[in-house]
Amino acid sequence: MHAYDTPVPVLEPGRGQTKTGRWWTYVRDDRPSGSRDPPAVWYCYSPDRKSAHPRAHLRKFCGILQADAYSGFGVIYERGDILEASCWAHTRRKYYDVYIANRSPIAGEAIRRIGALYAIERAIHGQAPEQRAAVRECEAAPLLEQMHAWLSATLPTLSAKSNLATAINYTLVRWTQLTRYCHDGRIEIDNNSAERSIRPLVLGRRNYLFAGSDAGGEYAANIYSLVGTALLNAMDPYLYSRHVLERIADHPINRIEELLPWNVAANVPVAARQAA
């Protein structure tokens, strides 16, 4: 499971101003590791960013959670039935920011080393977990070992308050979670599946500016979940919505799962579900 969150302004009735709510995204997409299970995205709204919200969202989940370093996820990992995996894209971004700011050769070298890890991933995309793990242990593990030694040797030469030292500390503190993917072919190198799912929310937010209420944030999250999952399953969201609305009034409630995007996609011809 991939997880991420983003802020959303929410109108406070009667006050003429907005507060900051939160949208959470949870993505299941194992196609990069050869799975044929249908992908899905689930968005949730909350009026704040307290850890109680992801804890409630994931109360029945057990497995691997790939997310950023948000401390609120910590209590979830403490349960023992959820394994933490970190994100190399998020880590790389810290070095990239330093490099853009002052063209640091150390940051540039870190980016180059991370790029070599991604080159390995491109070659094994879509392969079975066992194959991915075997290639990673053969090719990525030595690179990671060398990177760890280099970062550890470089850190003492830097000012402890510098942005570059902060980036290296971030990497080393999360090293176990960052390298977990190397030995488990089910895990991705990054959390980009979740970050991609946030883009429609960010684009929409620039247009409508704010949600009208907490209830509006919840309704929007439900609609985003259906639209996002339809897109992940190669369905045109408009055609999917029309398909559901034409049938929902007479559809038995105990068979509602038949109207989920992946089930509709499996029973509608490709041309019909992708037509404009």
Does residue 271 register a pLDDT over 50? no
In the prediction, which pLDDT does 269 show? Answer: 64
Question: pTM (2 decimals)?
Answer: 0.91
Alpha helices, DSSP H, located in 68-162: 74-77, 88-102, 105-124, 129-135, 141-154
In the prediction, which pLDDT does 276 show? Answer: 41
Position with higher pLDDT, 212 vs 15:
212
User: Taking a C-beta distance cutoff of 8 angstroms, is the pair 184, 129 a contact?
Assistant: yes
Does residue 35 register a pLDDT over 50? yes
- Mean pLDDT computed over every residue of the chain: 94
User: Taking a C-beta distance cutoff of 8 angstroms, is the pair 5, 22 a contact?
Assistant: yes
DSSP, collapsed to helix, strand or coil, labels residue 158 as: coil
Average pLDDT, integer, range 69-85 = 91
In the prediction, which pLDDT does 15 show? Answer: 78
- SS3 percent helix, strand, coil of the chain, rounded to 5, is 60, 15, 25
Q: Is 214 exposed, middle or buried (0-12, 13-18, 19+ CB in 10 A)?
A: middle
> pLDDT band at residue 16, thresholds of 50, 70 and 90?
confident
pLDDT tens digit sequence for 226-262: 999 999 999 999 999 999 999 999 999 999 999 999 9
Order across the sheet with 82-85: list the strands: 40-46, 17-28, 2-12, 63-66, 82-85
